[in-house]
Amino acid sequence: MMAYGIALFTALLIVAGALFALIAAIGINRLPDLYTRMHAASKAGTVGSGLLLLAVGLHAGDLATFSRAVAGFFFFILTAPVSAHLLAKAAHQVGYRLSAVSVCDELKRDEQKLKASKVKA
């Protein structure tokens, strides 16, 4: 009975991970600019790959493998959004433009405020 529950939970993790990965892939293909595509890949892709990794660790049935999968999951959760943020900031500084449908550019606004405060000082 316990093995059936673990197999069912593993299957649910696989389906959920695959759905998040599918959402990330759709977002990468359909979103208008670099920044929104990067957001889709870093958020939904991270959760999807993390859930798939947890499913593999749970299916292995070994505590060492499961603990490595959990560590990998936390590594994904901690590093992927930070690296996507840094890449987006670098792309903004290089000059990649936002899409015309983007509502506002907060980084540009903050940089203008910083320049204005330096001029006053």
Q: What is the pLDDT of residues 108-119, one digit of tens each?
A: 788 888 788 877
Q: What is the pLDDT of residues 83-105, one digit of tens each?
A: 998 998 898 889 888 888 877 77
Report pTM. Answer: 0.80
Q: What is the pLDDT of residues 29-48, one digit of tens each?
A: 999 999 889 989 999 999 99
* Section 60-80 average pLDDT: 93
> In which domain, by residue range, is 92 found?
2-120
Spatial neighbors of 17 by CB under 8 A, at least 6 apart, are 47, 48, 49, 50, 51, 52, 54, 55
Sign of the Cα pseudo-torsion (72, 16, 29, 89, in order): negative
Number of domains in the chain: 1
Is residue 1 classed as helix, strand or coil in its secondary structure? coil
Q: What is the pLDDT of residues 71-85, one digit of tens each?
A: 999 999 999 989 998
Q: What angle do CA 73, 66, 45 make, to 5 degrees?
A: 25
